[in-house]
Amino acid sequence: MAGSKTYYLTTPIYYVNDVPHIGHAYTTLACDVLARFMRLDGYDVKFLTGTDEHGQKVEKSAQAAGVDPQAFTDRVSQNFRDLVGVMDYSNDDFIRTTEPRHVASVQALWTRLVEAGDIYLGSYAGWYSVRDEAFYGTDELRDGPNGKKIAPTGAECEWVEEPSYFFRLSAWQDRLLAFYDANPDFILPPGKRNEVVAFVKGGLQDLSVSRTTFKWGIPVPGDDAHIMYVWLDALTNYITAVGYPQTEGGEFAKYWPADLHMVGKDILRFHAVYWPAFLMAAGLQPPKRVFAHGWWTIEGQKMSKSLGNVIAPETLVKTYGLDQTRYFLLREVPFGNDGDFSHAAMVRRINSELANDYGNLVQRVLSMIGKNCGAQVPQPGPFTEADEALLGRARALLGTLRAEIGVQAFHKALDAVWAVVGDANRYVDEQAPWALKKTDPARMATVLYVLAETIRHLAILTQPVMPAASSRILDQLALGPDARGFDRLGQGGALVPGTALPAPQGVFPRYVEEPKT
């Protein structure tokens, strides 16, 4: 399988100055599910995440903490590495922008861009607010006393001019538009694509890509007075991780261009405009897709430190369980849209869909097999039309999921799986194996076999979203590690009658509210 089909996907690198919250967890979760799905489907997957560790804010935070920036980032980036364990992410690499491999990569890319004539030295001038650490456009400012300009934030601005290197972004407008046109799925969802195209059509200015006002960053080759613009630094991580500047052979040849950059909607432009332009200028291929997902609100309110409603991923996992949390985040909201997290919705999903629909289906079937079939995979007789119908729907799921996961429609993929869960529950009621037990034990065995085989399909297919629970179900079907890939779906990997099965155990407990004190 290795060497044939590859899939390279990335999360953004997270800014170490932030504390990990549900939003970070969500982005990486989506990638993790995709990565697991593709691996099970036989792809050679590389799944990358990491931390963005340069910039003025980090420099200041380190200063405030009284430590040097490197020691500071060593400490805070651990928060994000810990998140990997909390959420059971299966990333293959964790990159940090302070690593030597990345510094070398960024400087190589810079040099390449200079050689290509796309970077030149100019000067950046504008109205700067020292208090806000930001430049403002003339149209944003109002006149204050003594001819001062006042920013929207109320801060006084002064005219500042500093030398800066520029990237010739303006030269790439037409080529970017041609690229979007030739690759209609480069930006998803479609609404976001339209925004980006409109933005680029509106005209592009050259981009200031160096700074001289602080030091914590990667020095510009040959001009140590400048450090590189954080986005040029940060975006390059995606090629650093596959070995850039080594582009011949190795991981770069194997994995680039990336199949997917998953990003939050707030950083779409950097990935969908600047990044392809940088890459094309360097003679490299742009990624195949950038997907911009939405944001979460909490109980209907925007997440914010001042409201005190920021949810740490650990809290969710401790309160509801890891698989439950992973399921909820991908099931509750059409992927790409904004969504709301609420306790009530979470409990509804856990109890109705996981415990009652899926968990109880597994339990009722395995329990009947345990009691009535000698705790072995039952021996089926001839299949009826109803049997074939259910098996057919279970076997058709893979095709559906490939299509939905292929466009990052996680909610639709799960919806399709639960449609079969519903079919299976209806089938149990219609076939009533508990009645067949007395009238036609052979038919009962067939019905239970069909159900066990259906559950096998469901559990194999829910592995990417709920690895632990799915694994426990597969354990209960006595399926070993080599019997859990998508290549085993369908008749080829069918359960073997007579195989001994362990005693069934519940996999999805109901969420019971703590009694009020």
Partner RNA sequence: GGCAGCGUAGCUCAGUGGUAGAGCAGGGGAAUCAUAAUCCCUUGGUCGGGGGUUCAAAUCCCUCCGCUGCUACCA
Alpha carbon distance 107, 223 (integer Å): 11
Cβ contact 221:110 at 8 Å: yes
Asked if 92 touches RNA (CB under 7 A), the answer is no
Among 121, 225, 435, 442, binds RNA (CB under 7 A): 435
Asked if 305 touches RNA (CB under 7 A), the answer is no
Cβ contact 386:451 at 8 Å: no
Nearer Cβ to RNA (303/368):
368
Question: Which positions from 132 through 171 interact with RNA, judged by CB under 7 A?
Answer: 133-135, 137, 169-170
Task: Considering only the stretches 30-38, 316-324, 424-432, 457-465, report the one whose residues sit in contact with RNA under the rule CB under 7 A.
Answer: 424-432
Asked if 348 touches RNA (CB under 7 A), the answer is yes
Nearer Cβ to RNA (45/268):
268
Cβ contact 498:374 at 8 Å: no
Q: At its nearest, how many Å lie between RNA and the CB of residue 505?
A: 9
* Per-residue DSSP letter, 358: I
Binding residues for RNA, total number by CB under 7 A = 59
Report the 10 Å Cβ neighbour count for 358.
Answer: 27
Q: At its nearest, how many Å lie between RNA and the CB of residue 423?
A: 8
Q: At its nearest, how many Å lie between RNA and the CB of residue 145?
A: 25
Alpha carbon distance 164, 208 (integer Å): 6
Asked if 189 touches RNA (CB under 7 A), the answer is no
Q: At its nearest, how many Å lie between RNA and the CB of residue 506?
A: 4
Q: What are phi and psi of 300, to 5 degrees?
A: 85, 0
Question: Which positions from 103 through 132 interact with RNA, judged by CB under 7 A?
Answer: 124
Q: At its nearest, how many Å lie between RNA and the CB of residue 2?
A: 34
Residues 6+ apart with CB under 8 A from 170: 203, 204, 205, 206
Cβ contact 313:86 at 8 Å: yes
Asked if 53 touches RNA (CB under 7 A), the answer is no
Which of 511, 471, 504 minimizes the C-alpha distance to 354? 511
Which of 234, 233, 217 minimizes the C-alpha distance to 225? 217
Print the binding letters for residues 351-390 with RNA: x by CB under 7 A, - otherwise: -x--xxx-xx-xxx--xx--x-------------------
Amino acid at 442: A
Cβ contact 116:168 at 8 Å: no
Cβ contact 209:119 at 8 Å: yes
* Per-residue DSSP letter, 154: S
Print the binding letters for residues 325-344 with RNA: x by CB under 7 A, - otherwise: ---------x--x-------
Cβ contact 5:42 at 8 Å: yes
Alpha carbon distance 115, 111 (integer Å): 6
Asked if 188 touches RNA (CB under 7 A), the answer is no
Cβ contact 457:489 at 8 Å: yes
Task: Considering only the stretches 78-86, 218-226, 227-235, 282-290, report the one whose residues sit in contact with RNA under the rule CB under 7 A.
Answer: 227-235
Among 52, 59, 118, 453, binds RNA (CB under 7 A): 52
Asked if 175 touches RNA (CB under 7 A), the answer is no
Residues lying near RNA in the complex (CB under 7 A) are found at 15, 52, 55, 57, 124, 133-135, 137, 169-170, 191, 194-195, 198-199, 202-205, 207-208, 229-231, 234, 265-267, 269, 334, 337, 348, 352, 355-357, 359-360, 362-364, 367-368, 371, 422, 425-426, 428-429, 432-435, 506-510
